[in-house]
Amino acid sequence: MEKEAKKIFWYTLAFMAFSTVWAFGNIVNGYSEFGGLKSIFSWVLIFVIYFIPYSLIVGELGSTFKDAGGGVSSWIKETHSKLLAYYAGWTIWVVHMPYISQKPSRIIAAFSWAVFRDNRISKMNITYVQIISLVIFIVALFLAARGVNFIKKLATLAGSSMFIMSLLFILMAITAPSITGAKTYSIDWSLDTFMPTFDVKYVTSIAILVFAVGGCEKISPYVNKMKKPSTDFPKGMMTLVLMVVTTAILGTFALALMFDTNNIPKDLLTNGTYYAFQTLGNYYGVGNLFLVIYAVVDFIGQVSIVIISIDAPLRMLLESSDEQYIPKKLLVKNSNDVYTNGLKLVGVIVSILLIIPMFGIKEVNELFRWLVKLNAVCMPLRYLWVFAAYIFLKKAAGKFQADYKFVKNKYIGIGLGAWCFFLTAFACITGMYTPGSIFQTTMNIVTPIILISLGLIMPYLAKKNNK
């Protein structure tokens, strides 16, 4: 009875997955880059053709390899080889480098809004922003080397608070006109308001949608902890999809009440979330109260995330990869059980990513937009390994057993895995192009190529070093 009581219910899994996958910032990014209310069509489309099969594929992989501790790398190892598992682990780790390089500027923005309560971050000199970002990163690197465990608890607290605030924002924004009589933008309910224009900008922005809905493989360890995995997991995932779709749609409508869908602010990617909470405070007559609370929570959350993102992915790579592919020097630990040489490698890569934008990007709003685009190109590369593992799994039909199966037919499974793989690759490749900027397009192409290529060198260095 005690064992039964510890089983996870389908609705518990749905809430766990929701807080892992979705964030209020995704809604703002979609509203900014996909034409306001037109983004609703894009969200629904990506959920149906990508997110649903993606989440159910993860469920089958997690159920099949329930005792594998390395996540995606373990799936590849079991279905293919140790070498390919290493490359998967490397990809999952190295795509976090652009993600880490994005966080210091977000920390500056959160601090600026918390203290000054305006958009002066957008007017700062780009060189100063990147120099301060470099200093912040070095401090974060130092804290990561100290093995600060309380940061993880702080991140959990900040993440939970952000999640609750995001849901409250949507509820309060939509009900504000009827409760407080607040004057908001009116919504034109014609088809043109909601139907996007399928042009070059649209195609090259799909990566932002793919990036937003990815990452549900983090919940795979919980599949076999459910009462009835074969029925409860798909039920939980369908609930997750419904929750995300509902939040995306209602959140977009909430933003449409605050920002003219036909005249979206150019700095919405930089300041949109802060504008939203500032406007909400004005609706309810509390001034900047909501804004300050959100900015402080965001600041704490961003600081926590950058430190965890330095340590956790590195630890996953070095602890799950075979030593024949990793130089022993990278496995050196300090007294705090932290991989010191690994942190130095992180320091070099991220520092370069922080310095280079100074030479090709002129303003802060442009920097924030490029960082979102760069991460949308790089981060989904790790999803490719999820779909590759599923294809390998289905090819080896009958070799592995699972409590939950997305599809039982071998060829349908391979087809679904190939479809998600293709769509992810297509989004990453088309997302590299940035209209009107040769520098940003070049960086979007060169950055992932160099980062992934570094992983090809490591086995050679390991063979040479480990002798």
The confidence score (pLDDT) of residue 4 equals 46
The confidence score (pLDDT) of residue 319 equals 83
The confidence score (pLDDT) of residue 1 equals 37
Q: String of b and e for 386-402 (b: at least 16 CB within 10 Å)?
A: bbbbbbbbbeeeeeeeb
User: Is the C-alpha dihedral spanning 180, 181, 185, 188 positive or negative?
Assistant: positive
CA atoms lying within 13 Å on the CB side of residue 268: 23
- Say if pTM beats, i.e. exceeds, 0.75: yes
The confidence score (pLDDT) of residue 69 equals 62
Distance, in Å, from the CA atom of 144 to the CA atom of 337, rounded to the nearest integer, reads: 11
Distance, in Å, from the CA atom of 158 to the CA atom of 333, rounded to the nearest integer, reads: 29
Torsion of CA 393, 394, 399, 403, to 10 degrees: 80
Contact 294, 277 (CB under 8 A): yes
Residue 359 burial (CB < 10 Å; 0-12/13-18/19+)?
exposed
CA atoms lying within 13 Å on the CB side of residue 262: 6
Q: String of b and e for 234-263 (b: at least 16 CB within 10 Å)?
A: bbbbebbbebbbebbbbbbbbbbbbbebee
Contact 315, 339 (CB under 8 A): yes
Residues of the chain short of pLDDT 50, as ranges, are 1-5
Hey, what amino acid is at 27?
I
Hey, what amino acid is at 23?
A
**DSSP-assigned letters across all residues of 289-325:** HHHHHHHHHHHHHHHHHHHHHHHHHHHHHHHHS-TTT
Residue 90, C-beta contacts closer than 8 angstroms, at least 6 positions apart: 317, 321, 452, 454, 455, 458
**DSSP-assigned letters across all residues of 187-223:** ---SHHHHPPP-SHHHHTTHHHHHHHH--GGGGGGGG
The confidence score (pLDDT) of residue 407 equals 92
**DSSP-assigned letters across all residues of 444-463:** HHHHHHHHHHHHHHHHHHHH
CA atoms lying within 13 Å on the CB side of residue 425: 11
Hey, what amino acid is at 248?
A
